Amino acid sequence: MSISVETFFLDPDTSGTLQARIQQMVAQGILSGRFRSGERLPSSRKMAQHLSVSRITVTLAYTELVADDYLTSRGRSGYFVSDNAPEPPAFATQAPDESTVDWNRVIGQRLTPSLGMNKPADWAKYRYPFIYGQADETLFDNANWRLCALKALGKRDFSALTTDYYDADDPKLVDFIARQTLPRRGILANPNEILVTMGAQNALWLTAQVLLNARRLAAIEDPSYPALRHILEQARCQLAKVPVDANGLRPDDLPTGTDVVFTTPSHHCPTGATMPLARRKALLKKAEAEDFLIVEDDYEFEMSFTNAPSPSLKSLDRNGRVIYVGSFSKSLFPGLRLGYLVGPAPFIQEARALRASILRHPPGHIQRTVSYYLSLGHYDALVRRMGRAYRDRRSVMEAAIRAEGLTIVGQSTNGGSSFWLRGPDGVDTTLLAKNLQADGVLIEPGAPFFASDTPPIEFFRLAYSSIPVAQIPTGISLIAKAIRSMS
């Protein structure tokens, strides 16, 4: 590998002859680890031209470095970093001088989240990963995804790959969402009522920014998706936390003066509760009577493998009060970051303008790849394969949980990918999760899902999206054993 001549410059603060300064420049690059054994340096001619010095000065500097075994000469091939050059120090490099900036004063708005939902980067190495939302490589269709990605790189799709859509989206993807995806949820929408987003979280952020301000009141479920709470705190709106029961959000508990309600009716996050049809209709009736909007996050509707999915709120809406959030990241893989918003045209127009000012549009190649993956039938095949696997895992996990005497307090009637459990009184599941890691078990503590400053500590979530079915009973047994030792 050749070292670019552009990486070299003479520090004006160094002293000595030009030759000495060039030697020091190269030696420091080797000692710092920037230049490594076997890498080729620029020729003396190129270096001299770049530094605006004579070629003989560079040649003499290189010759001295060869003598000191920093460099080695290979005839016509040039100069290379020597195999015997001094190794970079093993200790950490010196920290820069202390900053003189008072960051507590200059930061205008604090955005750093404290969600308490950190997942180990090497989660896949754990034997019993009961964590939510991670892709299972044994289920994912790598071959067809690769083919679709290659197809999207083809000459016919050059425009989709390279075009700056500005505030628009790939028409093929929007068309598929309108004609295939949404009708499965009973939703009919025109292209000007659909916006592609960088995942569901981006869709929620756009929605909050468009609909809310400091004078408006947003209602959220409690417990709920921690990132949504953080999004609404950024919007600086008034926030009402509404407790849920075994059937999800209770419309009668919404405070007077609510402007926007955020809800997960098909699979409540995190309990998995499914809102009954009667309650959905009551929520819509209340929205019309009290003039508020509803944001429906319909994540995981594809994972309805035990019963047919309940009708979406958006499909029941006759007055344009529901804004619908969907995502491909849950069913494909979380790193995809691709979702969509569906709502009345005036709302989508504003969300589109806001998105354009932040990121213009999601990458064209990703949109076209997903479009092919959907339209060629690979997505439906993947969902069916995941549904069969999840059904087996769910059955085994539920049996293991009940056999160990653990308490399930929330699960979807339609399927999903997780269980919501409650440990005995006083068992801190944050500490439990920490202790279980030593046994190769990963669980999700429930406290971060609650809005209270003093949330209940006994709840936790167990997901089965990424754990082989054979590992489940032993993993549940380890969890039960750890809980008994803490009780």
pLDDT digits (tens, 9 = 90+) for 351-363: 999 999 999 899 9
Predicted pLDDT of residue 300: 82
- Which regions of the chain carry the CATH code 3.40.640.10? 142-376
Could you tell me where the DSSP H helices lie in 237-363? 277-290, 313-316, 345-358
- Are the C-beta atoms of residues 362 and 355 closer than 8 Å to each other? no
Band (102; pLDDT cuts 50, 70, 90)? confident
Question: Could you read off the pLDDT of 38-80 as tens digits, one per residue?
Answer: 999 999 999 999 999 999 999 999 999 999 999 999 988 899 9
Rg (CA), the chain: 29
pLDDT of residue 427: 96
Report percent pLDDT > 90 for the chain.
73
Residues 116, 447: Cα–Cα separation, whole Å: 8
H helices, E strands: number in the chain: 16, 16
Region(s) of the chain under CATH 3.90.1150.10: 123-136+385-486
> Which pairs from 247-253 meet CB under 8 Å and 24+ separation?
247/273, 247/274, 247/275, 247/276, 247/279, 248/221, 248/273, 248/274, 248/275, 248/279, 249/221, 249/275, 249/279, 249/283, 250/279, 251/279, 251/282, 251/283, 251/286, 252/282, 252/286
- Mean pLDDT of the region 304-311: 74
Show contacts of 386-389: CB within 8 Å, 24+ apart.
Answer: 386/136, 386/139, 386/302, 386/303, 386/331, 387/302, 387/303, 387/305, 387/415, 388/305, 389/136, 389/139, 389/469
pLDDT (mean) for 12-28: 90
312 closest CA partner among 301, 302, 328:
301
Q: At what angle do helices 199-211 and 345-358 cross, to 10 degrees?
A: 110
Domain 142-376's class?
alpha beta
Look at residue 85 and tell me whether its pLDDT is greater than 60. yes
Are 432 and 442 contacting, i.e. CB atoms less than 8 angstroms apart? no
Residues of the chain with CATH 1.10.10.10: 5-81
pLDDT mean over 26-34: 89
pLDDT band per the 50, 70, 90 thresholds, residue 414: confident
Q: How many angstroms separate the CA atoms of 486 and 61, rounded?
A: 68
pLDDT exceeds 60 at position 91: no
Note the pLDDT of residue 115: 56
Mean pLDDT (the chain) is 91
Q: What does the block give as tokens for 273?
A: 């509760």
Report if pTM > 0.85: no
Q: What pLDDT does residue 305 have? A: 73
pLDDT score at 90: 62
Name the token pair of 125. 């190495």
User: Domain 123-136+385-486 maps to which CATH number in 3.90.1150.10, 1.10.3470.10, 3.90.320.10, 3.30.450.20?
Assistant: 3.90.1150.10
According to DSSP, residue 238 is labeled: E
Q: What is residue 7's predicted lDDT score, i.e. its pLDDT? A: 86
Task: Look at the domain 5-81 and name its fold.
Answer: Arc Repressor Mutant, subunit A (1.10.10)
Residue 272 above 60 pLDDT?
Answer: yes
